[in-house]
Structures are given as structure tokens and as C-alpha cells.
Structure 1
Amino acid sequence: MLKKSWFIYLCLGLILVLALILRLYKIDIPLADHHSWRQADTAAVARNFVKEGFDFFHPRIDNLATLRPGTLNDERYFFVEPPFYQAIVAGFYRLFGVKESLARLVSIFFSLGAMIFLFLLVSRLVNRWVGLLSAFFMAVLPYSIFYSRVIMPEPMMLFASLGMLWFFWLWLEKQKNGFYFWVMIFIAWALLMKVFPLFLLLPMFYLLWQKYGWRFIKEKKLWLLLLTVLPLLAWRFWIGRFPEGIPTNIWLF
């Protein structure tokens, strides 16, 4: 059994190495690929954290373009999700200089972490061989390769979302406070990055139903998880003070 586990994790390691190699191809290309506009804005925020001083609560881009009809954005604000990704990238910029390849590397390593969470989830749900297959396809599919090296927060969001599912499952099984702590961290993190992780509440509810049935209503710790929405609400309240810095389009409404 120990030898089999060793072989499984060796295979996972090789898949991660393959994924890294595929994503390093022309990592220094300029921001002229798909979604270049959003990538350029995200890169600008990280760069300005270095050039103009780190101000997490006032992310700035490089242009004075109007982001919302009828408003001027003379402070160059860019308020979307909290700039966790840009802050990490800015840290590497300070150490090694402003290079777009560094920003892509940050995305790549979050995508590798997401592959590990996917392997763990599918291994628990089916078996470890299917878990390896899932990680392999995530590693080699062209669509996955492209979006796991963009200068955008999506790879971080995917990492946080899969981590949220994994630690929630572990906590339901083990009922350990350490897992519960990470559940709260990852749920809050995922929701701050994008609203899409809300759809993952459906499989989480299924896991709850499997374990408790209607008895989940009496579980106090489950209700405390609602507190993980507070950081998102706080961020939305904060950026609401700067409507000129919130991008909008007619098709969104």
C-alpha cells in the first residue's frame, strides 16, 4: 500500500512538472494575447504598487479612461476584486524588477495548486487513478494552459474555490477546528475574488445533506460560516464610495 501511494504521488509530481513546462513556453510574451485589456489593467495595478507606493485600498491603472458613463476617473482608480493577486505580483516586482513573466509565474503556481486540490477532490470522490487523470487533463488542455498563465485573478480564484471544497469536505469528515479555520479562510477568499464560487454552494449543500440531512439546521458552526460573506460586503461597501473606479457595461444590467 505504501509503495502504491509513493507511485501515485510520483505520477502527480510528474504531471505538475509537465504542466509547469507547458506553461513556461514563451512566458515573456507581451500582453497582446486574448483579454489583453484586462490583463494590461491588472498588470498596471501591480506595477503602480511599486512605482507609486503600495495602497491596497486604492488600486490604480495607467490611464484616465472613463470606466463608468458620466463620471471622470482622474485618480485612475480600478476597483474590481480586492487586489490580492496584484499585491503578490508587486512583491516579486520589488525583488526582481518589473517583468510580466513574474506576473504570469504567480498565476501558474496558483494553477498548479488548483491541480493538486482537483486531484485530492476527485481521489476522494472516485479514486486516485481518476484523480490523476483529472489533474492530467487540467495540465494539458490548451484552454487550461492559456487561462492558467494570464495576468488575471482567475487562477487564484480557481485555487481558492477548489481549496474551499476540499477543506469543507475534510471538516465535515474529521470535525477538526483546524480544517474549519481553513474552510472560513478559503470561502471568504473565493467569494472576494469572484461571485462564481457561489455556484459551488450546491455541491457543498449536497455534502451537508449527505452527512446531516435536515439536522444541519441545528449545527451552529455551519451558521457561523455566513460570517465569511462579511469581507465581501465590506469590500463592496468600500468600493461603492468610488463609483468612478468601478468598470461597468450596459450588457451587465
Structure 2
Amino acid sequence: MKKLKSLLGDIRFWIVLFFFIRLIGITQPPLEVAHNWRQTTVTMVARNFYETDANPFYPRIDIVGEKSGITGMEFPLLNYLIYLASLLFGYDHWYGRLINLMVSSAGIWFFYMLGKKYFGKQTAFNAALILLSSLWFMYSRKIMPDTFSVSLVLAGLYFGVSYLEKDRKFQFLIGFFVLITAGLLSKFPSVMILSVIPLIVFSKKYSCFSRRNFFIALILGMLPSFFWYFYWAPYLVQMYGFHHFFMGKGWLEGLSEISLKLPETGMMFVETSIKYFGFAAFLAGIISAIIKKQRLLLMIFGLSSTAVILYILKSGDNFPRHSYYMIPYIPVMALVAGYALNLIRNKVLLIAVLSLIVAEGLLNQQHDFRIREIDKPIVELGNLLDNFSKETDLILINSGEYPTPMYFAHRKGWVSSNSNVGDTSFINSLRPLGLRYILILKRSFGTNQILEYECLYDSENFSIYKP
């Protein structure tokens, strides 16, 4: 019993357990309802590294018609790791799931270690479990860079603090620089994690020499991201003629848009991130920290909240539409909630409340392990099209703005609405650009449409036309 109690109280056990739980369906294609489009843009880039050009400075996607597909986006670190794995084992999309899961699991450990360093073992344990069962649970097994990026930044922050505390050991400073650089390049909004940096830089707890080196490493680590996101990505858009990556809106425009979406924005914090029990604990943590004058926690909360408010204003109405926008702020919510739970002195009650938070989080994300039956035929699009066309033939798909079917078709071309696909003038405009086939999706990602062209194939799921 004592060994079991010790095991259950060890965060490493829970990190490993949650890792294995998320291995369920790890080889599934990126077709789950939540953000399959986002995942397939990642896999498109990775596959193009493998099949076309492995230069990470020129990422390319497949929905740009006759153009090269090169466009500005996040620095493709996760995509490139998928490519490197493909060099060893042959290409497959699920490598991205596994890579993200491994890095995101390590991120929980570094989050725990940071929490333990400043708030004690129990608060850190509570917070790590809450983070594990939050929205993090779902996105850490997706082929997306969000939890991947935040994990790298958390690890970098841990190495940076360790440099300051461990007698200025230079290897920790190198680790800080490398991880911060990689994390911010992967997804720049992860910079919100670094909103706590002023607490470190201005702390008299550390020597001026150490703080100076820490600050220099931080600035140097951020410079590649500024180059990529504010120079290179816009350059690629201008040079190659395709806009794909959202770089934010003007402050006033964002404020105007978000003011019309306040209920939806609020629910991103309440329902989306750590669910209702978790959010109640988060509120209790804020109130308790104020009453008990927990200055450090309140400063972390204040700085992080300021950062997320600025992020919301910059995102505008995009913020409440995309749940993954919350990922960089959830660790702070988990930390505050974990602090609240640490104030519960009754061990049985603490376990009960923590169990409720974890159970609510997991039960509301179980759908992410399933792929709808109606979507499964999409996986075979590439094999189907091989019977009628070459991989180099450009195609048009009636999937609206969704790139997902194009990825599985293993082709390049255009995605558009039914109204455009049925418009003769639109089709005529694409013919000189190289359009060879039209794929009509009848059930998944599109609805049936009968065209006045030669029909090469027809089934309950798809039709293929030669315009």
C-alpha cells in the first residue's frame, strides 16, 4: 500500500500513464473533427520536404494550384522532424503525432519542475495533473506545433532558471538559448510563457552577471523568430503569391471584433481550456492568492493575463474560433488552480476534487480518439485517383477552404466551394493553369454536385470529372 501511494503521488507515473493513453489510435490519419485541416497543412509541408525539396526555409503546401506552394507560415520544425523520421522509416503522417506527444509529455515534466521550484511539490503535482487533463491532452497528440512549442519554451525556461541557480553552469544557458529559439520559432504565441521573464531579470536573488547573460541569451534566442515571422514569412508570401499564415490584426480592429464576441471569448477560458471544475479551482486560486498575498503567483497571473489580453486583441474574432489559441495560457491557469487545491487540507477531499477536474477534462475529449465513419473513405483518395491520373496532375476539389482532402488525394491543385466548382467561367479560368480533373466529394467535406463534364468515376462518396 505504501509503494502504491508513493507511485500515485509521483508525477512521472501520471506523465507515463497519460502518454500511453494517448498512444491509442496514434497511427490514425489526421481526420478527427477538431482541426484536421490544421494538421494536414503540417503534413503537407512534411511530405513535400520528403518528396520535393527539403529546404526548411521554403515550406510548401498543396492547395495553391499551378504555383509552387511555397508560402509563409510557422517555422516548420515539427514538419522537419517528421521529414527526418521519414528518411529513416519511409513517409507516414503519424510520426508527427508521436513526436508531438513525446515533446509535450516532456513539457509537463518541466512545467512540474518549475512549479515545484517556486510553489512546492503538491502545488506542482496538482497543476501538472490539471494541465495533463486540460485541452493539452487533446492537442498533444495532434500533428500541430502548439503544445510542442509551449513545451520547448517551458523546458527552456527551466534551463534558464537552473543556470541562474546552479552556480552559473554554462550548459544550462546553452540549453535555455536552444530551447527558447526552437520553441518560439515553432509557434511564436508561445512567447506568452516568457511574460514572467521580468520577475527573473529584475530579481536581486541572482547575481548581475548571471542575469545579464540570461538576458543576452533570451534576446539572441528571440531574434530568429523576429526574422522569420516579421521578415521571412511575409517575404515568402509576397515572392510566391500565396497568403496562408495569419499574422494578426490591428489593435483597434481586434478590439472591435472581440467586443462582439465576448461570451464566446469568455467560454474559451471557462469551458474550452480546463472545463468547469478546473475553472472554478482557477478562480478559487486567484481569490486565495489575493487573500494570502501570494505575491509571486499574483505577478505570474498578472503578467500572463496581460500577455493573453494583448494576444486576444491581436487575434480579433479569430481567437474564439480556434481553441488552440488558448494553449500558451493554460499552464498558468493550471498553476493557479493547483495552488487552490493545495490549500485543501483534507487529503480525501483534495483527491476527490482533483479527480473531478481530471475526469471532466478527459471525458470531454474522448471524441478525439475517434474518426467518423463518413470521413474514413477520404483516406483512399490517393489510391482512387491513381487509377485515372498522375500525381503531377492538378485537380480541383469541392471541399471549400478545407485542405484535408487534397492531402489525402496526394495531389496539388485547388480547393473551392460548390458554387465555384459549378461555375463554367471559373473552370475555364483554371484550364489554362493546368486543371486536369475535378473531384466531387459527396458526403464528407463536400456535398454532391452533378457537372456537365465527362464523368470518369462515380460512387456514393466521390465523383471524378474530366473538364
TM-score by length of 2: 0.47
Question: Alignment partner for residue 172 of structure 1, among 138, 157, 164?
Answer: 164
Pick one of 205, 208, 223 that aligns with 2:198: 205
The one-letter amino acid paired with 1:25 is I
1:241 counterpart SS class: helix
Residue equivalent to 2:244: 247
Question: How is 1:147-226 mapped onto 2 (pairs within 5 angstroms)?
Answer: 147-174=139-166, 175-211=168-204, 220-225=212-217, 226=219
Per-residue deviation, 1:249? 5.7
Task: Point out which structure has higher relative CO (alpha carbons under 8 A, 6+ apart).
Answer: 1
Letter in 1 for 2:244: P
Cα RMSD over matched residues?
2.9
Identify the residue that residue 44 of structure 1 maps to in structure 2: 44
Change in Cα spacing, 1:248 to 1:16, as seen in structure 2 (3 Å) is closer
Q: Does 1:17 align with 2:16?
A: yes
- Report the Cα distance in structure 2 between the residues aligned to 1:152 and 1:23, rounded to whole angstroms: 15
Match of 2:26 in 1: 27
| Deviation at residue 61 of structure 1 after TM alignment | 1.2
| Counterpart position of 1:69 | none
Deviation at 1:245, TM superposition (A): 4.2
Amino acid of the structure 2 residue aligned with 1:199: M
Q: Would the aligned equivalents of 1:8 and 1:128 in 2 still touch at CA under 8 Å?
A: no
Distance in 2 of aligned mates of 1:133 and 1:172? 26
Q: Deviations over 1:96-127 (max 9, x none)?
A: 23323221111100111111101111111122
**Unaligned stretches of 5+ residues in structure 1:** 66-72
Show the 5 A alignment for 1:53-64: 53-64=53-64
Quote how far apart the aligned CAs of 1:223 are: 4.6
Relative to its length, the structure with more strand (as a share) is 2
Counting only pairs closer than 5 Å after superposition, residues 82-101 of structure 1 correspond to structure 2 as 82-101=75-94
Q: State the Cα distance separating 1:80 from its structure 2 match.
A: 1.2
1:198 Cα deviation from its structure 2 partner: 2.9
Task: Give the aligned residue type for 1:238.
Answer: W
User: Across the two proteins, how many residue pairs are aligned to each other?
Assistant: 240
Q: In structure 2, give the amino acid aligned to 1:240.
A: P
The structure with the largest alpha-carbon Rg is 2
1:247 partner letter: H
Mark the CA change 1:55 to 1:125 in structure 2 (over 3 Å): closer, same or farther: same
Contact 2:30 2:40 in 1 (8 A): yes
Distance 1:249 1:99, change over 3 A: closer
Q: CA deviation at 1:212?
A: 5.6
